[in-house]
Amino acid sequence: MTELKKKTSENLKAPAAERLFVRLNDNERVQHLIFGICFIVLAITGFMIKIPENLVSLLGNYREPVFLVRGILHRIAGSTMILVCLYHVYYLVFKAAGRRWLIDMLPRVKDLKDMVHNLLYYLNIKEEPPEFDRFNYKHKMEYGALIAGSTLMSASGVPTWNVASPFNCPSTGASSVAVMIAGVASGSVKYR
């Protein structure tokens, strides 16, 4: 442990250009991996219900089993994603590394300055890009979008669990509202 503290203090004393950041520790990497896999499974199994009927008919007798498995996989991935999100909240509140993550993710005035500096760099007005902290403004905006998107899709997905369920459970009025919200959020429902 003292070796790690020594390396950390040496890293902090190094010039900014030579400083290294461990952006994600092992715990955070596992959270990120599980969340990413769940997201991919949810995207694939969610978009499967948008397949045109003429393509679905090509499945023939396999149509029902394929969509049964799709529904089950979607629910497993959704439940797992919600559990990872809940664990992440626990991690942010009760673990020292989580609290550090949260502090590092908070927006700062420096982020706005870095964004302008980076834009000027991309326009070849500045010669050097800005020196970012552990998380730059792009990471922070993506994290905010992730929180908003996960919350919205979880809040609309849980009540729709019984809608078109392979387990033939009765649906509720709340599930009808959630289906409408999920449709608007995914872009399936368009308003003129």
Alpha-carbon span 14 to 23, nearest angstrom: 18
How many other CB atoms sit within 10 Å of the CB of residue 145? 10
Could you read off the pLDDT of 142-157 as tens digits, one per residue?
A: 999 999 999 998 988 8
Task: Tokens for 187, please give them.
Answer: 């872009």
* Residue closest to 164 by CA, chosen among 84, 75, 87: 75
Domain coordinates in residue numbering, the chain: 18-101
3-class SS of residue 156: helix
DSSP string, 48-113: GGGS-HHHHGGGGGGHHHHHHHHHHHHHHHHHHHHHHHHHHHHHHHH-HHHHHHHHHHS--HHHHH
Task: Tokens for 40, please give them.
Answer: 């991919």
Could you read off the pLDDT of 98-134 as tens digits, one per residue?
A: 999 999 999 999 999 999 999 999 999 999 999 998 8
| pTM above threshold 0.85 | no
* Helices (runs of H) and strands (runs of E) counted in the chain: 8, 0
Torsion, Cα of 53, 58, 62, 63 (10° steps)? 0
Could you read off the pLDDT of 40-84 as tens digits, one per residue?
A: 999 999 888 888 877 878 888 888 888 889 989 999 999 999 999
